[in-house]
Amino acid sequence: MKKIAIVTAGGMGTRMGAKLPKQFLLLSGKPVLWHTLNAFINAFEDIDFVLVVPDDFVNTATVLASELNISQKTVIVVGGPTRFDSVKNGLATIKESAIVFVHDGVRCLVSPDLIKRCYVQAIEKGSAIPAVASTDSVRIAMEDDHRVIDRAKVSIIQTPQTFKSELILPAFNQSYQERFTDEATVVESTGNRVYLIEGDYQNIKITRPIDLIIAEQIIADRVS
Amino acid sequence: MKKIAIVTAGGMGTRMGAKLPKQFLLLSGKPVLWHTLNAFINAFEDIDFVLVVPDDFVNTATVLASELNISQKTVIVVGGPTRFDSVKNGLATIKESAIVFVHDGVRCLVSPDLIKRCYVQAIEKGSAIPAVASTDSVRIAMEDDHRVIDRAKVSIIQTPQTFKSELILPAFNQSYQERFTDEATVVESTGNRVYLIEGDYQNIKITRPIDLIIAEQIIADRVS
């Protein structure tokens, strides 16, 4: 089945304190986004890409796609003010039935194995939302207090959030609502349930400077 | 005020696939537990220690305390079958009013700054439970489905869970209940509320082999 990865790299990221958005910072000599795209290329030779980038980085993304030899199957679109808008812009380029992966560009350590498993489950169940169990205790803020929740019941959600195009395309025709914190919540609001899949503890998001150092180490460890 | 750190290193850890419990594995040339204890020593010169270790590691812990020059102010006790039992064994050695830090031995990157802040808040409010906001979406398992919860309301709990001895000692006189997943839940069950404090994203737990590599990198980064 046709496979399309919408990779969102629209954020300008302020927590890194760097001049470049974090998806373009160098990690083991290549931009973060290079690693992300490479994982999808390694999962599927026949996958197409939609890169959602900030306005000023269209050229950078074009060069990156060319470097990775995926120019012919890559569409570059400009991100919107929210994740919802950015993904919506990406989805607007999809004209045929496909399995659609929506992936955070800064989750550059995603494994080809996870991507493949998401694909298989999305074909079977319509969706695959990677999740890992919390390794720490978790509390939820209440009105002016907080209560502990059973850790075994807590899932930390990752990407690629993966869907049949028939599920995700109509869902994004809705107007934006504040509760749309990821693609799964958008699809759920159409009355469809979504299905979790075992994620990967190494599938971290690069958000702080230390994450780059950690990612570099994980990459070195994988190579050795 | 008197300060006592109960450092729990009772687990035998199976996820590491190593022969030694993870708290004794080497990290930058020293056992994980060495780093943990050293952070408390760096926070307070006048702190006492209660080390809770597996039966077979009493000698190892004794040598470690001697190496760190804290033998005179360290009591070593043997852990129990649950975290509750291990902490209870540790608390049984406390005979005077104190601020009590209960800390996971495998959280070896805890900063002296966090330890000091916990101390100050525990004096003021009775408790200090370090927590960080979740950086990922979170879902809670329901009967046969799951629902997303507002990420802003989710706190990931760390240690040292810090209390006035007057709060934590009586709480541990109760019988064990399954909902006692950490010290905060034990104290809460006596009708006292507990107070969170801003934790630290680097205050990770060593649970998988990759965590050792990450920790080594964070330590190298701190030194440089």
Q: Is B137 in contact with A157 (Cβ distance < 8 A)? A: yes
A78 Cβ contact list (under 8 Å, min separation 6): A10, A52, A53, A54, A55, A58, A89
Of B49, B52, B60, whose CA–CA distance to B79 is shortest? B52
Tell me the shortest Cα–Cα distance from A158 to chain B, in angstroms.
7
Counting one residue from chain A and one from chain B, the pairs whose CB atoms sit within 8 A come to 109
**% of chain A exceeding 90 in pLDDT:** 74
Q: Is A88 a member of any domain?
A: yes
Residue range(s) defining the domain that contains residue B66 = 3-223
- Per CB-CB distance under 8 Å, the chain A contacts of B218 are 210, 213-214
Beta-carbon separation of B138 and A145 below 8 A: no
Quote the minimal CA–CA distance from B74 to chain A in Å.
27
pLDDT digits (tens, 9 = 90+) for A21-37: 889 999 999 999 999 99
- How many other C-beta atoms lie within 10 A of the C-beta of residue B173? 9
pLDDT for the residue A222 = 85
* pLDDT confidence of residue A174: 95
Q: Does A222 touch chain B (CB under 8 A)?
A: no
- Residues B145-164 have pLDDT tens digits of 888 888 888 999 999 999 99
Per the CB < 8 A criterion, the answer to whether B99 and B2 are in contact is yes
Q: How far apart are CA B156 and CA B150, in angstroms?
A: 13
* DSSP-assigned states of every residue in A84-150: HHHHHHHHTT--S--EEEEEETT-TT--HHHHHHHHHHHHHHSEEEEEEE-SS-EEEE-SSSEEEE-
- Chain B residues touching A205 at Cβ < 8 A: 135-136
| pLDDT band at A208; cut points 50, 70, 90 | confident
For an interface test with A, the pick among B103, B107, B142, B146 (most A C-beta atoms closer than 10 Å) comes out as B146
Q: Which of A129, A148, A187, A213 to substitute to test the interface with B, most B CBs within 10 Å?
A: A148
> Could you read off the pLDDT of A106-127 as tens digits, one per residue?
999 999 999 999 999 999 999 9
Check CB contact under 8 Å for A182 and B137.
Answer: yes
The shortest C-alpha distance from A136 to chain B (Å) reads: 6
What pLDDT score does A100 carry? 98
Chain B within 8 Å of A157 (Cβ-Cβ)? yes
pLDDT above 90: percentage of residues in chain B: 74
Selection from B99, B29, B22 nearest residue B53 by Cα: B22
- The domain tally of chain A equals 1
What does the mean pLDDT of chain A come to?
A: 92
For residues A9-20, average pLDDT:
66
Mutate to test the interface with A, among B183, B187, B214 (most CBs of A within 10 A): B214
Give the integer Cα–Cα distance in Å for B219 and B217.
Answer: 5
Each residue of A152-188: pLDDT tens digit? 889 999 999 999 999 999 999 999 998 898 999 999 9
Q: How far off is chain A from B214, nearest CA to CA, in Å?
A: 5
List of chain B residues with pLDDT < 50: none
- A214 domain-assigned: yes
**pLDDT at site A202:** 92
Query: Of B189, B131, B192, which Cα lies nearest the Cα of B166?
Result: B192
ipTM: 0.84
Interface with chain B: mutation pick from A110, A214, A219, highest number of B CBs within 10 Å: A214
The confidence band for A13, taking pLDDT boundaries of 50, 70 and 90, is low
pTM score: 0.86
* pLDDT value of position A14: 52
Residue of B nearest to A161 (CA): B137
End-to-end CA distance of chain B: 34
Q: Is residue A8 part of a domain?
A: yes
B131 Cβ under 8 Å from any chain A Cβ: yes
Torsion of CA A10, A13, A18, A21, to 10 degrees: -10
A13 within some domain:
yes
Nearest residue to A77 (alpha-carbon basis) of A96, A63, A58: A58
Asked whether residue A133 is assigned to any structural domain, the reply reads no
Interface contact B184-A136, CB threshold 8 A: no
Distance CA A52, CA B202 (A): 30
Cα gap B183→B204, rounded to integer Å: 18
Which pLDDT score, from 0 to 100, does residue B12 have? 61
Asked whether residue A148 is assigned to any structural domain, the reply reads no
Task: Classify strands B127-133 and B161-164 as parallel, antiparallel or unpaired.
Answer: antiparallel
Adjacent-strand bridge partners of B99: B3, B164
Look up the CATH number of the domain holding residue B54.
Answer: 3.90.550.10
Q: Does any CB of chain B come closer than 8 Å to the CB of residue A223?
A: no
Domain contains A202 = yes
With an 8 Å Cβ cutoff, are B151 and A181 in contact? yes
pLDDT of residue A18: 63
